[in-house]
Structure 1
Amino acid sequence: MFDIVSAEAIREGTATDAYFDRTVAALRHADRDPHVVAEVTADQFPDGEFELFTGVENAAELLSGLPVDVDAIPEGTLFDGGPVMRIEGTYTDFARYETSLLGFLSHASGVATSALEARRAAPDSSLLSFGARHVHPAIATMIERSALVGGFDGFSHVAAGEHLDREASGTMPHALVICFGPGEQEAAWTAFDEASPEGTPRIALCDTYTDETDESLRAAETIDLDGVRLDTTGSRRGDFRHIVREVRWKLDDAGYDDVEVFCSGGLGPDELRELRDVADGFGVGGFVSNADPIDFALDIVEVAGERGAKRGKLPGPKAVYRTADGEHLVLPADDDAPEDAESLLEPLVRDGEVVADFDVDAAAERAARDAERVGFATGTE
């Protein structure tokens, strides 16, 4: 019914590029199927431009049941070069899965990197992911999970919440207010209040027909309000910081100092930095959901025990280390480990069995620690 590749197709290896099918056919025709080591990398050498690694849980599920061994850096780790994953096994056993594997890792890591950048821009604010409407619904769960790994507090997508066992967050759209019509904002806010379950934050959208200060005060007078959300379109926004400060001032002046102010609508790190001291939280959409995927590649680096790689790639299996000062080192895997350095590649799959655990909160905590250690997005501090 929809343009969606099924989970069965991914699992069976048909969600692949055609040349992998032809490669497998050619190798079998030639009775040649070597044992190889392959590595997933974005950059060969560390370059100081860190990105956040995620999508590992889906990658592990993809490779489970195959006769391969896989090592990977843990989910939530920041990397700037060298392998993030290493696969060892007979080539045709995993060749067809390269397309899906790279897709799982590339897209999720790009989204999580942008989410972490937003989090670093507003480290003490509440952040919700509002971007599912900008992507194909089939990947909404990936978007929301990646936002959580990047440090977001929640998200808006209901089905993703069911999959991740998290309750979706949200207030009301302009459509609710418009269905009641001009001058009937109070009726819309009252309906929202009366229909919402206990425990749902009463956050009123306050910029539909009149200015933000007027609607915010009227909403606070109408229902027991937890907060107001300002989602003013760019064409009417003007100086958004001034608008937010004015709303805060007038709410405080009227005795509603406990009513919080949330902002949404086309916000990115620059806007978060500008508003983080005058707003309590933000809904961030396209900056996170529309993030460019990380340009990962999978390359064979050893064939039948012999080091080898295509021109421009580094032959031989490698190890990746994090030094005490946050630097990354990439060395041949059989070299001695540097003193006071942490090895980042850890077992993920052994002979087809997933041996790692996955926890979104633990990954988010790791990302936050790593961001401090490596100075990620320091311009947002």
Structure 2
Amino acid sequence: MKFNVASESEVLSAENSDVYFQRSLSFLKNKKFNDDVIAEVTVSSFENPWINFTGLDDVLSLLEGRVTDLYAIPEGTVIPYRDIRGIPVPFISIRGNYRNFGMHETSLLGFICQSSGISSSSSMVKLAAGDKPVFSFGIRRMNPFIAPMIDRAAYIGGAEGVSGIKSGKMLGLDPVGTMPHAISLLLGDEEAWKAVAAGTKKGPVTVLIDTFEDEKFGALKAADLIPKLDFVRLDTPASRRGNFANIVREVRWELDLRGHEKVKIMVSGGLKEADILELSNAGADAFGVGTSIASGKTVDFAMDIVDVHNQPKTKKGKLSGAKHVHRCPDCGMVEVLPLARSRETCKCGGHFEDVLVPYIKNGKVIRREKPSEARARTINLLKRFYLRQEV
């Protein structure tokens, strides 16, 4: 390898796992004991009260043939990480021989911890943006080897589009992009805008208007120059920004005043969730969000054995025994119960659904979902249970 990353074969062979798994399993190699276990993946705390769970698809590729059964909460499920009583929610439940999958804990957790953090951040941004589109522009801030994972998680989390070429191919999307400042530096604004307009065969014509110009006058010049202009993009640097929302208001006012009501405003450049609603109210129509989605806070999932040879057993601080995760589709309440117990009806009168569903049975993957299906689940759950404004 020319780059400082693990190869796919090294991940599958557990060569990039924490060494103590390798050492511990080597100690057990010649021991005769029954190591059929149930292990669960939970999280004790997170900065938000809920998580958008993603990364499962890679876990299935990792564990197929290594575990007997795997149950999981589907990707794109937006759910509290603790139930109504404060019991940690199992996101994955694994049944199998510990010697066959214990070495892969490092990679298993890595697949879901980072991805779920990104998808959760994307969902927070999408909630703030409402029915206005959000585009994932953050892959340039991260290791290029994981760019498709970043865009996949951002898309499932609610982003309408992604910028990565490879990501677009994997997701079945046309990647989204406007124009870099470099084109204006090479050609000058007007020639750059004309080139972008002429070269845009699919999707909206969007030009960046603040490389040299004042945003208001740049927007008016571009709108006058390009009859089929759809968007002006404001990417004003922080050193020139002042009050970004007021700049957006100015641009919107002047465009409308001069007959360019159909020209929309896209904003980008260091945007955070807290900025989105204010900019939307000021007149922004679309948001290019990079680092704050791509660097979403990692979810600290942990995997723990909860049952050994059909006997509930775990370490202190954890809850032993396999579990159900019930959720009411009417009110959204979540309740975790021991596997031997069940509850059909919620206090609100709704009928509980078990959200832990089978993905691997007898060592074989029996279910996979398209990213578009997971994203649809996200949008549905955000609308039903977490809406602050229309999504």
Fold in common (TM above 0.5):
yes
Tell me the CA shift for residue 379 of structure 1. 8.9
Q: Which residue of 1 is the match for residue 341 of structure 2?
A: 335
User: Comparing 365-374 with 11-20, which one deviates more in the overlay?
Assistant: 365-374
Normalised TM-score (structure 2): 0.91
Quote the residue 1:230 is aligned against: 234
- 1:262 alignment partner, one of 242, 254, 266: 266
Deviates more, 1:27-36 or 1:291-300: 27-36
2:348 maps to none
Residue 271 (1) aligns with residue 275 (2): yes
The residue identity in structure 1 corresponding to 2:377 is R
- Within a 5 Å distance, the mapping from 1:129-148 to structure 2 comes to 129-148=136-155
**What's the secondary structure of 1:29's corresponding residue?**
coil
**Residue in 2 aligned with 1:169?**
176
- Cα distance per residue 1:104-123 (max 9 Å; x no partner): 11111110000000000011
Q: Deviations over 1:51-102 (max 9, x none)?
A: 1111111111111122421000111112322100000011011111111111
Q: What is the one-letter code of the residue matched to 2:280?
A: R
Q: Determine if contact 1:266/1:284 at 8 Å carries over to the other structure.
A: yes
Aligned to 1:75: 75
> Could you tell me whether the CA contact under 8 Å between 1:269 and 1:380 is conserved in 2?
no
- Please say which of residues 89-98 and 216-225 is displaced more in the overlay: 216-225
Aligned 8 A contact 2:138 2:289 in 1: yes
Checking the alignment, whether the CA contact within 8 Å between 1:40 and 1:299 is kept in structure 2 is yes
Checking the alignment, whether the CA contact within 8 Å between 1:326 and 1:374 is kept in structure 2 is yes
- Count matched residues: 375
Residue 156, structure 1, aligned to residue 163, structure 2: yes
Return the alpha-carbon distance in structure 2 between the equivalents of residues 379 and 234 of structure 1: 28
**% identical aligned pairs:** 38
Confirm whether residue 13 of structure 1 aligns to residue 14 of structure 2.
yes
Secondary structure of the residue that 1:257 maps to in structure 2? coil
Letter in 1 for 2:363: G
Residue-by-residue CA offset, 1:332-374 (whole Å, 9 max, x unaligned): 1111234221111000101221111212222122122222443
Distance 1:227 1:156 in 2: 17
Is the Cα contact below 8 Å between 1:27 and 1:33 reproduced in 2?
no
Cα distance in 2, alignment partners of residues 146 and 112 from structure 1: 5
Amino acid in the other structure paired with 2:300: D
1:191 equivalent in structure 2: 195
Distance in 1 between the 2:3 and 2:40 partners? 34
Query: Which of 299, 312, 326 does residue 332 from structure 2 map onto?
Result: 326
In structure 2, what is the equivalent of residue 115 of structure 1? 122
Aligned to 1:366: 377
Question: Residue 83 of structure 1: SS of its match in structure 2?
Answer: coil
Structure 1 residue 33 displacement after superposition: 4.8
**Closer/same/farther in 2, CA of residues 161 and 299 from structure 1, 3 Å limit:** same
Query: Mean alpha-carbon deviation: is it higher for 71-80 or for 185-194?
Result: 185-194
1:41 corresponds to 2:20: no
Q: What SS class does the counterpart of residue 175 from structure 2 fall into?
A: coil
Whole-angstrom distance in 1 between the partners of 2:173 and 2:100: 36
| Alignment partner of 1:311 is 2:316 | yes
Q: Distance in 1 between matches of 2:20 and 2:69?
A: 24
8 Å CA contact 1:14–1:96 kept in 2: the answer is no
Amino acid at match of 2:249: R
Equivalents in 2 of 1:289, 1:236: separation in Å? Answer: 25
Distance 1:3 1:47 in 2: 31
| CA distance in structure 2 between the aligned counterparts of 1:155 and 1:92, rounded to whole angstroms | 39
**Which of these residues, 205, 209, 223, is aligned with residue 206 of structure 1?**
209
Equivalent AA in structure 1 for residue 333 of structure 2 = E
5+ residue gaps, structure 2: 83-88, 346-350
Note the C-alpha offset of 1:165.
2.5
User: Superposition pairs for residues 96-107 of structure 1, below 5 Å?
Assistant: 96-107=103-114
Residue identity opposite 1:246 in structure 2: E
Q: Measure, in 2, the Cα distance between the counterparts of 1:213 and 1:59.
A: 49
The answer to whether 1:344 aligns with 2:355 is yes
CA distance in 2, matches of 1:373, 1:209: 44
Within 5 Å, give how 1:27-66 maps onto structure 2: 27-43=28-44, 49-66=49-66
Provide the C-alpha distance between the structure 2 equivalents of 1:13 and 1:68, rounded to a whole number of angstroms.
18
